[in-house]
Amino acid sequence: MHVTGAVLWVGGGLTLTILALRAERARDPQEMATIARQAAFVGERVFAPVGLLVLLAGIGMVVNLNIDWSTSWIVAGLVGYAITFLTGLLVLSPMAKRIGTLMETKGAEAPETQEAIQRILLVARVDVGVLLLVVAVMVLKPFT
Ligand code: HEM
C-alpha cells in the first residue's frame, strides 16, 4: 500500500509537471488553464487521500517492524510529508481557489490568470522535488 501509493502520488505529480512544461513551451494559455484545473482536482481528490494512506501505511510499518522513530530515513519521510501537507494546505489550495475565481471573472487567457497559473505550477514542481527526495532517502537509506 505504501509503495503503490507513493508511485501513484509521485508519478502523478511528475506527469502533471511534464504536461505543464509542454504547455508552457507551446505558449498555450488554454492548455495551461486545463492542466491547472486538472492538477487542482487530482491534488485534492487523489493526491491528498493517497498521501494520507502513504503516511498511515508508513506508520504501520514502523510499528510492526519495530523501527526506531529516530531513524534518519523515517525522520526524512515524516518531515517530507509535513512539508508537502503544509504546502498543499497553506499554499497550493488557496492559490488554486484564487485561480478558479480569476478564470471565472477575468478568463483563462488574462495575464493575471496566466501569471497565477505559472506561480502555482512552480510551487507544485518544488513539491514534487520534495517527494522525489523522500523516495531517494527511503530507497537508499543513507546514514543508517
Ligand atoms: C512523502 C512520503 C513518503 C514517500 C514518497 C515514501 C516512499 C517510500 C518508498 C518508495 C519506499 C520503498 C523503499 C524500499 O523499500 O526500497 C518506502 C519504504 C518505507 N517507508 Fe516510506 N515514504 C514516505 C513516507 C514515509 C513515512 C512518513 C514513514 C514512516 C512514518 C515511512 C516508512 C517507510 C517504511 C517503514 C518503509 C519500508 C522500508 C524497508 O523495509 O526497506 N515512509 N517509502
* pLDDT of the residue at 105: 96
Query: Is the distance from the beta carbon of residue 80 to the nearest atom of ligand 1 less than 6 Å?
Result: yes
In three-state secondary structure terms, 27 is coil
Overall pTM > 0.95: no
**pLDDT > 70: what percent of the chain?**
100
Percent of the chain with pLDDT over 90: 96
Predicted pLDDT at 136? 96
Span 77-125, pLDDT tens digits: 999 999 999 999 999 999 999 999 999 999 999 999 999 999 999 999 9
- Is a pLDDT exceeding 90 seen at residue 138? yes
Per-residue pLDDT, averaged over 22-37, amounts to: 92
- pLDDT at position 144, please? 74
What is the reported pLDDT for 49? 97
The finding on whether 138 has its CB within 6 A of some atom of ligand 1 is yes
Q: How far is the CA of 36 from the centre of ligand 1 (A)?
A: 29
pLDDT at 91: 96
Residue 68 gets which letter from DSSP? -
Joined together, the cell numbers standing for residue 55 give 503516511
Q: Is the dihedral of CA 44, 132, 35, 124 positive or negative?
A: positive
78 pocket-lining for ligand 1 (C-beta < 6 Å): yes
The verdict on the CB of residue 85 being under 6 Å from ligand 1 is no
Q: Which residue puts its alpha carbon closest to atom 29 of ligand 1?
A: 58
| 78 alpha carbon – ligand 1 mean position (Å) | 10
Q: Between vectors from CA 121 to CA 125 and to CA 40, what angle results, nearest 5°?
A: 110
Q: Which are the contacts of 32, defined by CB distance < 8 A and separation ≥ 6?
A: 20, 23, 24, 108, 114, 117, 118, 121
Ligand 1 pocket check for 6: Cβ under 6 Å: yes
Pocket of ligand 1 contains residue 13 by CB under 6 Å: no
User: What pLDDT is recorded for position 85?
Assistant: 95
Which residue owns the Cα nearest ligand 1 atom 33?
58
